[in-house]
Amino acid sequence: MTLNEEQIKDIAELLDSGMICFYHLPTGTIDSHPDPNDPYFDAEQWEDIIDRIENDWDNYERFEKMESYEGYKVIENFAYSLSDEYFRDKILNAISRRKPFQNFKNLIDSSHYRQNWFDFKNKAYINFVKRQIEMKEK
């Protein structure tokens, strides 16, 4: 399985947006759809893509989104990457309480570190996809 950097970036962005991604080995195309376990998932809207994948399952590699604990670790790593000790401590305090993701979002969205966070998370997702590729190649 050989994916170029653009394909890896595309998969990372789709996973970050909550999609499940599939790489078609013969053609090198990427298909995706929302998680069927999502309560707002509308199967009818995605029927063609799901059927295409299911009918050719052996030729697809599936890419998983991050688990909650992995997403939490990305936030924590971002906090530790900051040289601003005050804001780092604010993040660590916010994520140690109930609803850590919501607390972090509220904090980061109103900060001047917002773009830094998006850049950091993007790199983390790209590395996450690359690790999945390495595992599939073993």
* pLDDT tens sequence across 73-106: 999 999 999 999 999 999 999 999 999 999 999 9
Residue 137 pLDDT class (50, 70, 90 cuts): confident
In this model, does residue 15 exceed pLDDT 90? yes
With b meaning 16 or more CB within 10 Å and e meaning fewer, what string describes 38-67? eeeeeeeebeeeeeebeeeeeebeebebbe
Question: pLDDT at position 35, please?
Answer: 86
Question: pLDDT at position 2, please?
Answer: 86
* pLDDT tens sequence across 44-77: 999 999 999 999 999 999 999 999 999 999 999 9
